[in-house]
Amino acid sequence: MVYDCILIGSGPVNLIEAMFLSKQGKKVLVLEQSEYIGGAWGKVPLKKGLPDFQLGCHIWDIEPKALNFLSEFLDMDLAKMKPQPEFVFRGIKLPYDWKNLLFYIRGMLRPKGEMESVSFNKARIIPAKYIYPAGGSLQFIDRLLDRTKDFGIEIRTGVKINKLEIGEFTKAISKRDVFHTKEIVITSVAQLKSISKNGEEFILPEPRLVNYIHCHLLINDLTAAKFSYARLPGNSLIHRVSDETDHVKTHGVGMKGKKLILAAVYPELYHKIGKEKTREHDYAELT
């Protein structure tokens, strides 16, 4: 069987692209190497009774067209993050996108006639307002999946494509199968070994992966949130933290007087420094 288009990876970018292609009447297949749909926005199921674990995405910038798409096409309930996300450097709290102001000033100072850079186009003086799905990023993937079903899109999990052979009909090759397609879409973060065209093979470099340990902490404290999301550059142990209490509640999981906090921790240091030191080291920056 020859597909009109195969998309490698089931992140949101590919799922949305798959719907556009399917709307054009194309026969589309999405292939995902892991057992879970959604890529960096997906989930890892925990033990029974515990909420699914949100993988990566915890903060959304507002873009009016995207907002319309989310609320109208996906019928999503979006909430303004409270408090707004922060950037915490050595205990100093700044708006999350404070760097935009620097880009803006640099853009203003650029010599006349010089091409505008992407950063200048994106620059804003007023900090952006950040939102998040009231039910967490998993709600976003669930809704996307429902819509892909409406479009009759085929999705297969547990299929890692190692090699592509580009030709009149491209071959997407996994350990067990060969899929044939007229067009191919690959996510920018696809992990592929090689791509060949006209008999010439290009070996791709190993992807540069950043590893964190995601720690979910249940804390006996239901005072108002002190942070919704914070990045901690310069902190040797914690990369970012987010308060997930509200998203979990919306998913119908009662928190019984507890807060659910996620901390993304650098693994080498986590093992080296140990848990006691972790608490001492980082609590001060966030309170």
Ligand X SMILES: Cc1cc2nc3c(=O)[nH]c(=O)nc-3n(C[C@H](O)[C@H](O)[C@H](O)COP(=O)(O)OP(=O)(O)OC[C@H]3O[C@@H](n4cnc5c(N)ncnc54)[C@H](O)[C@@H]3O)c2cc1C
Helix axes 137-150 and 12-23, enclosed angle (nearest 10): 20
Residue 128 lies near ligand X (rule: CB under 6 A):
no
Q: Does 165 bind ligand X (CB under 6 A)?
A: no
Strands 53-54 and 60-61: what pairing? Answer: unpaired
86 contacts ligand X (rule: CB under 6 A): no
Q: What is the total count of residues that contact ligand X (CB under 6 A)?
A: 27
Q: Residue 266, interface with ligand X (CB under 6 A)?
A: no
If binding is defined by CB under 6 A, does position 192 make contact with ligand X? yes
Contact flag: residue 78 with ligand X (CB under 6 A)? no
161 binds ligand X (CB under 6 A): yes
User: Please, what's the largest Cα pairwise distance for the chain?
Assistant: 64
The vertex-132 CA angle with 41 and 72, nearest 5°, equals 90
Name which of 11 and 136 has its Cβ closer to ligand X.
11
Check residue 191 for interaction with ligand X (CB under 6 A). yes
What residues are paired with 131 via a beta bridge? Answer: 60, 80
Our CB check for ligand X shows the closer of 163 and 258 to be: 163
Asked if 39 touches ligand X (CB under 6 A), the answer is yes
| 31 lies in the site for ligand X, by CB under 6 A | yes
Under rule CB under 6 A, residue 190 binds ligand X: yes
Give the nearer residue to ligand X in terms of CB position, either 33 or 196.
33
Q: Which residues pair with 29 in a beta bridge?
A: 6, 154
Report, in Å, the least distance between residue 62 CB and ligand X. Answer: 11
State the number of CA atoms in the 13 A half-sphere of 145 facing the CB: 16
Q: Which is nearer to ligand X, 211 or 220 (CB)?
A: 211
13 lies in the site for ligand X, by CB under 6 A? yes
Q: Cβ(216)–Cβ(262) under 8 Å?
A: yes
Range in contact with ligand X (rule: CB under 6 A) among 55-63, 71-79, 147-155, 275-283:
55-63
136 makes contact with ligand X (CB under 6 A): no
Query: Alpha-carbon distance 145 to 251, whole Å?
Result: 17
- Pick between residue 66 and residue 105 the one whose CB is nearest to ligand X: 66
Min CB(141)–ligand X separation in Å? 10
Beta carbon of residue 217, minimum distance to ligand X (angstroms, whole number)? 18
Tell me which stretch binds ligand X (CB under 6 A): 7-15, 21-29, 98-106, 116-124.
Answer: 7-15
- List residues binding ligand X (CB under 6 A): 8-14, 31-34, 39-41, 56-60, 160-161, 187-192
